[in-house]
Structures are given as structure tokens and as C-alpha cells.
Amino acid sequence: MPCPMRSSPLRFTDLVSRRVGIWGVGTEGRATLQKLKSLGVVPAAVVDDAPPGPGVLATGAGGLEALSACDVVVKSPGISRYADAVGQLEGAGVAVVGGMGLWLEEVGPERVVGVTGTKGKSTTTALAGHLAKGLGVRCFVGGNIGQVPWGPAEESDTDLWVVEVSSYQVTDLWSSPAVAAVTSLHPDHLDWHGSVDNYYKDKLALCHRPGARVTVASGTDERLRERSALLGPSTRWVEPVESATWTAKLGLRGTHNLTNALIAAACLEEMGVAGATDPVLLARAAEGFRPLPHRLETVAERGGVEFVDDSLSTNVLPTIAAAEVFEGRPLALLVGGYDRGIDYAPLGEYLSLRPAPTLVLTLPESGERARQALTERGCQAVACADIDEAVRRAAAWAPAGGVVLLSPAAPSYGVYANYEQRGAAFRAAIKSLGPSWGHSA
């Protein structure tokens, strides 16, 4: 069963009189440290798996003992709420909370749009924020997509908060934003949540906790339709419509991105943003939108071959959506990365029915498992040692008019620090092909 928050709701200001520990000093942990400093709170313990500097304890070298002496521990989202250590702390009476939950209790749900989904949540968050600003709204855009909303650069005069919320962060919430958006649902993060069922329930908990008013959801997603009972008090289904011509101003590719844009606009309408239903005003607001880096980003055009960086795709679902964009074109697809048990069978089923020539180049560490799943379904798949080899093989295979697409359907951890570093390695491999392949776009 999913793990609910065991403690009573808390705000950052409630921590002033308590003994507080910080568990994890990544992006959120650092922002939380600064937030506590602004409140005059000195953490009793700061713990991480790999201490980056003085004053930080290692989890396995006295860190957990130090946290157990605290009243409240603010943990990083990357630390699973299902972890034994979390249960031990809570069993000892320690409130184990997250920064996102503390912040939401502070600001209240009424002016907050929370965006989640297995794929599309980052793009939809960016879209909603861009459109809101274009319609004259003072809007904060952040969360899992970038700046945390309780960070030092937090805007005090914000009218609307558009916040991407990961499945990890949802488990740290006591309340729901007034408007929640769910872009898609597909098995993911099983190592963190423990099961597919837990993952689905944890993610969709964003929609039905106190404060929830309406959920804007993709009407084309069968898994969401099947779980409509988990989508809160009211659900607004959104499907792609060709009549929404204002979306052309966004410069996005693919039907899935059309749906994302319509979900973003629907969220603004539900929040009462003036102009959110006017296609003329939306077209004006859409101007200047820049698609997210590493998301279907054309990074080079060489020898008549388009090289596309979709390193942000860490699951089968977005990889299929990316491949669909290039329907009818020869495709060399780079797949593989950190192995968290993702089922590659759906990708194999899709690619086996693809009429245009398709070659899959698989990468460590999930590459061999992916290659086996794909070849069992009749796909042509070749294992490669690294991105350099995969790009060389792809470039040699792809004819003029073809596409070399990095859309790994796996996280970057292990080989790369993050998806940005993986995207940079892809670009470097393209450059190493030499001048005979033309020039970068």
C-alpha cells in the first residue's frame, strides 16, 4: 500500500521551535538549508550519503543516529518514503517531511497548479508558466523542473504558482494544489515506490488530498481513464484537437505536445486566468516559447541526417512518443541507461510495427536487457559499448532524410551525472564524426 504522511501538517514557520535535521543536500536540501537560515533555524544534523564538505554526516556513519534525535527531519525526494530508515525514524516519533509539503502548507493550495505525469510534466509546467506570463500574470514556474518554490529567489508578489511535482514529492504532501494536471501514466520508478500499483497511487494522490478542486487530465491515456476514481473531486479531460491553431506558435513537435499545450491552457482557465480561453490572446502569449533543452531538440544536421537529443526521456512512454514524431522517416534510435527494471516490451511492440526502416542501438547498463526484449519482437537492435559507438553506427546506417534519435527510455545515473551530461556526450559524439558530416545546426 502507498505510504501516507504520518505526521500532522507542518509549515516551514512551524520548524522555528523544533530540533530539525536535513537528510540530503541536493538541490532541495540546499534550498531548505537557506530557508531555515532565513528563519533563524540552525539544523541539528545535516546528513547525506556522500558528505560534500564539513558539517555533513554520512548516512551510515552516525547520520541516522543524529537524525533520530531530531523532532523533524526534512528529507530529499530521492530518499524513498518506503525506505526502512524512514520507517524507523517515524516509529521513533520523528516527523519525516519534505520541502514541497512544508511550502504548500505555507502558501495554501488556492493559487497553485501542480503538474505531474510519467511523461510531459516538465513541458506542460513550462508551457503553463509561459502562457500565464504572456497573459499578464505574475507567475512562478518551478518545482521538480528547476527552482524550488521556497528557495532564496522566491517571489513574494506571485499571483500564481505553477509547480512540477514528481511522484517522489507527492508522497511528501499533506494537501493538494487547487488545480492538478496529470499528463500521462505509465510504470516508472519501481525501485523507489516498490510496485506499479504504489507508483500509480502515489502519483495520483496529488489530485485528491485536502485542497483539491479539479484535475486536468489527458483524455487519451487509458491508464488515467481506468483510474478516474483517484483523480479527485472533479476531472476535466483534455484531448488533442486540430482546431487549436494557437499551439503552432509554440514550435513543439508531436501530438503529445499538442495535448500538453491544451492541458496547460485548461489549467490556467480553471485558475481563472483572463484570456486563457481566447485563441487570439493565447497565440500572442505563446510567442517566444522555447522548448526545453534535451527534449526533441535538433542539435545537428549532417549528411542529410537529423540528430535529435531527447535525453530527458527516461521511460518507454516518452520514447515511443518521440519516435512517433518521425513517422515515415528512417530512424536510428539510441536506447538504454540506468536499469530500474523498466519493461521494454511496449517499445518493441511499437517499433516492430513501424513501417520505416528502424535500427536500435542499445547502451549500458540496461542495454542488453532492452536488446533482448526488442529482438524478441522482431526489431533490429545492436548492443553498443557507449554513446560514441552508438552514434558512429547510427550515422553509418542512417540514409539522407533519416533521423538519429537519442531517446534512452532510461535514467542517466551510473554512466552520467544527469540527463544534461548525457545530452552533452551525444553532441560530442556527433562532432567527433568529422567534417564530412556537415555542420551543426
Please write the tens of the pLDDT for every residue from 188-211: 888 899 999 999 999 999 999 999
Q: Are 179 and 238 in contact (CB under 8 A)?
A: no
pLDDT band at 187 (very low <50, low <70, confident <90, very high): confident
Q: Is 434 left (phi over 0), alpha (psi -120 to 50) or beta?
A: left
pTM recorded for the entire structure: 0.91
How much is the pLDDT for 1? 47
pLDDT per position as a tens digit, 305-350 = 999 999 999 999 999 999 999 999 999 999 999 998 889 999 999 9
Quick one: cell of 193? Answer: 515506490
Q: 263-298 burial, b for 16+ CB within 10 Å, e for fewer?
A: bbbbbbbbbebebbeeeebbbbbbeebebeebbbbe
Amino acid of residue 261:
A
pLDDT per position as a tens digit, 67-101 = 999 999 999 999 999 999 999 999 999 999 999 99
pLDDT band at 54 (very low <50, low <70, confident <90, very high): confident
Q: In the chain, what percentage of residues exceed pLDDT 70? A: 96
Domains of the chain: 19-98 (3.40.50.720), 108-286 (3.40.1190.10), 297-433 (3.90.190.20)
How much is the pLDDT for 341? 84
Is 123 buried (19+), middle (13-18) or exposed (0-12) by CB count in 10 A?
buried
Residue 87 to residue 68: CA distance in whole angstroms: 11
pLDDT band at 105 (very low <50, low <70, confident <90, very high): very high
* Secondary structure (H, E, C), the chain: CCCCCCCCCCCHHHHCCCCEEEECCCHHHHHHHHHHHHCCCCCCEEEECCCCCCCCEEHHHHHHHHHHCCCEEEECCCCCCCCHHHHHHHHCCCEEEEHHHHHHHHHCCCCEEEEECCCCHHHHHHHHHHHHHHCCCCEEEEECCCCCCCCCCCCCCCCEEEEECCHHHHCCCCCCCCEEEECCCCCCCHHHHCCHHHHHHHHHHHHCCCCCCEEEEECCCHHHHHCHHHCCCCEEEECCCCCCHHHHHHCCCCHHHHHHHHHHHHHHHHCCCCCCCCHHHHHHHHCCCCCCCCCCEEEEEECCEEEEECCCCCCHHHHHHHHHHCCCCCEEEEECCCCCCCCCHHHHHHHHCCCCCEEEEECCCCHHHHHHHHHCCCCCEEECCCHHHHHHHHHHHCCCCCEEEECCCCCCCCCCCCHHHHHHHHHHHHHCCCHHHCECC
How much is the pLDDT for 374? 97
Residue of 274, 291, 255, 317 lying closest to 126 (CA atoms)? 291
How much is the pLDDT for 255? 93
